[in-house]
Amino acid sequence: MTVIYEDNHIIVVNKSSSEIVQGDKTGDVPLSEMVKAYLKEKYQKPGNVFVGVTHRLDRPVSGLVIFAKTSKALSRLNEMFRTSDVHKVYWAIVKDAPKNPEGELVHWLVRNEKQNKSYAYEREVKDSKKAVLRYRTIGRSDNYSLLEVELLTGRHHQIRCQLAKMGCPIKGDLKYGAARSNPDGSICLHARRVHFVHPVSKMPIELEAPLPAGNLWKAFEVES
């Protein structure tokens, strides 16, 4: 966990692919508790430290996660995420180049809770939710393409599912059609940038996360 930004109301960290945002059945220490411990030590706070979870990233995904340090910031950020007023840009390394170098994907996603997986359909079906993203190709290597993805809706596994439906599964993402897993259990999806109006000060905030370690990411970092 690396702190990217902090003020009186929010703290933004760069999550590694092995970390979970909130506690789950694994019993592993979640990022929210790491942030609490960091704040407790930094400010030598007695008792409980308030840290509010505003959104999540899947465990194998890396990048920016925003936490609230006050209840006022939490309620406002929750509303901002609900109304898509927090703009997130992801980088994804995919095996096959998309047919069109850039475009907008619109699908209807159905979440299967038991499988913890979403399925994409070209038209509305029972229990589906509309999912929209924009992508553009910003890098190429011999075997992979680097896509920049802007989320216009926030659905379960949306980027993973929609890119796979387009025929471009994310490197390492076995669940959505990748041929092989990554040695460290990650998938090559990174929450690269975020911009929003601060929920309390109303100042514009724009942040960028450094790329994960690894030769493939490094190669694309040089290109871009």
Residues carrying an active site annotation: 58
Cβ-contact 10, 196 below 8 angstroms: no
| DSSP assignment string, 134-174 | EEEEEEE-SS-EEEEEEESS--TTHHHHHHHHTT-PBTT-G
Q: How far is CA 170 from CA 7, 72, 98, 180, in A?
A: 34, 37, 12, 10
| 3-state secondary structure (DSSP) of residue 126 | coil
Q: How far apart are CA 145 and CA 86, in angstroms?
A: 26
Q: What is the CA radius of gyration of the chain?
A: 18
Residue 80 tokens read as 């901002």
